[in-house]
Amino acid sequence: MSRTGIALLGFLGALAAMGATAVPALAATGQVTVFESEVQPLTTYENPDGCYKLPLAAHVLNNQTDKPVRIYGDPFCLGPSLTVGPGQGAHVAPGSGSFSV
């Protein structure tokens, strides 16, 4: 293959990669609810998009959206995570956790 052909393939590959990353992600439709205790109302996140720090006393997260939710042990949505599918819930560790959609 000629140098021009290789350069053209490289350019088209880079263009395709840029186009794939330029498409904005749509926010999840629905809500994520977090249970803290019997004396507090549920914390609700409508149509979440991005990273959210969990309330300090968070105990259970319920994913009522149409997308998977990832739960993290830190407040910045970094590191290992647990995926909670649509219509499912999970216990969360109280303290400094977070979730992302």
On the 0-12 / 13-18 / 19+ scale of CB atoms within 10 A, 26 is exposed
Tracing tokens 């830190």 back to the chain, one arrives at 74
pTM of whole model > 0.75? no
Q: Is 96 helix (H, G, I), strand (E, B) or coil?
A: coil
Q: Which CATH architecture has domain 30-100?
A: Sandwich (2.60)
CA 31 – CA 45 distance, rounded (Å): 5
pLDDT for res 18: 53
Mean confidence (pLDDT) of the chain: 85
For residues 19-43, average pLDDT: 82
Q: Is 60 exceeded by the pLDDT of residue 14?
A: no
CA 74 – CA 34 distance, rounded (Å): 16
Tracing tokens 């990832």 back to the chain, one arrives at 70
